[in-house]
């Protein structure tokens, strides 16, 4: 490398290259340490801090996914929160946070994250599904009903959406409508065992 190039980047490229080498070997903790040197330092010009910001966020995301799949939701939350702080525009991170908050029983926070998701991606039916589920878990079936109906309008032939609608309607004490929703889920998917069980439960069988 020429002295001129070293002077322009002030060492940022070497640190970044080390970070990427760790990242590509899935050694995410070591990668984060290198990227943080760039983020905390005054070298690398404009390019390397932007790249370091992105890949540090991705490294935290990847570590969060490992913890989430292990069922260690609180540890996953810690990683996803760091990822969200670095790359708040990444909607995927907010979805993962919502899932982990929901699994930890932190329903208000789950609602916040899923609501952020549907605001940014209003045509994603699964976003409304997740938000409806979080509202239902929070004990807000009326709000859940509004969201699940948005999802159903987008994908009327999606059996899971009708099944969740049935659960929400049951929470609203509207058993006739609840049974109709489960029956629609079964019509769309005749092998939907959970929908059969929920329907039988509403019937009192």
For residue 22, CA distances in Å to 13, 18, 44, 58, 174 come to 14, 6, 18, 13, 55
State residue 14's pLDDT score.
Answer: 87
Say what percent of the chain tops pLDDT 70: 92
Summarize the confidence of residues 85-91 as an average pLDDT. Answer: 94
Summarize the confidence of residues 125-129 as an average pLDDT. Answer: 97
Please, which pLDDT band fits residue 154 given cuts at 50, 70 and 90?
very high
pLDDT in tens, 98-109: 999 999 999 999
Q: Tokens standing for 124?
A: 């994603």
Give CA–CA dist 205/198, Å, rounded.
10
Q: Give strand ranges (E) for the chain.
A: none
Inter-residue contact 45 to 9 (CB < 8 Å): yes
State residue 205's pLDDT score.
Answer: 55
Residue holding tokens 């939907």?
192
Integer-rounded Cα Rg, in Å, for the chain is 23
Does the structure show a pLDDT above 80 at 112? yes
Does the structure show a pLDDT above 50 at 8? no
pLDDT in tens, 13-49: 888 899 999 999 999 999 999 999 998 875 556 778 8
DSSP 25-43: TT-HHHHHHHHHHHHHSS-
The reply to whether the predicted model has a pTM over 0.75 is yes
């Amino acid at each position: 490398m020429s002295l001129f190039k070293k002077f322009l980047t002030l060492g940022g490229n070497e640190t970044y290259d080390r970070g990427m080498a760790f990242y590509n070997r899935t050694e995410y903790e070591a990668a984060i340490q290198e990227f943080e040197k760039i983020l905390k330092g005054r070298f690398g010009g404009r390019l390397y801090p932007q790249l370091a910001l992105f890949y540090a966020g991705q490294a935290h995301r990847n570590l969060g996914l490992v913890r989430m799949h292990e069922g260690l939701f609180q540890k996953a939350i810690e990683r996803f929160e760091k990822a969200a702080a670095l790359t708040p525009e990444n909607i995927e991170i907010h979805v993962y946070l919502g899932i982990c908050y929901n699994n930890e029983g932190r329903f208000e926070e789950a609602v916040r994250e899923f609501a952020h998701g549907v605001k940014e991606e209003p045509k994603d039916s699964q976003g409304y599904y997740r938000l409806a589920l979080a509202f239902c878990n929070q004990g807000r079936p009326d709000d859940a009903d509004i969201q699940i109906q948005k999802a159903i309008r987008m994908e009327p032939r999606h059996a899971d959406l009708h099944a969740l609608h049935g659960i929400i309607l049951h929470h609203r004490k509207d058993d006739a409508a609840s049974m109709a929703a489960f029956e629609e889920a079964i019509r769309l998917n005749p092998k939907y065992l959970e929908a059969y069980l929920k329907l039988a439960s509403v019937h009192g069988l």
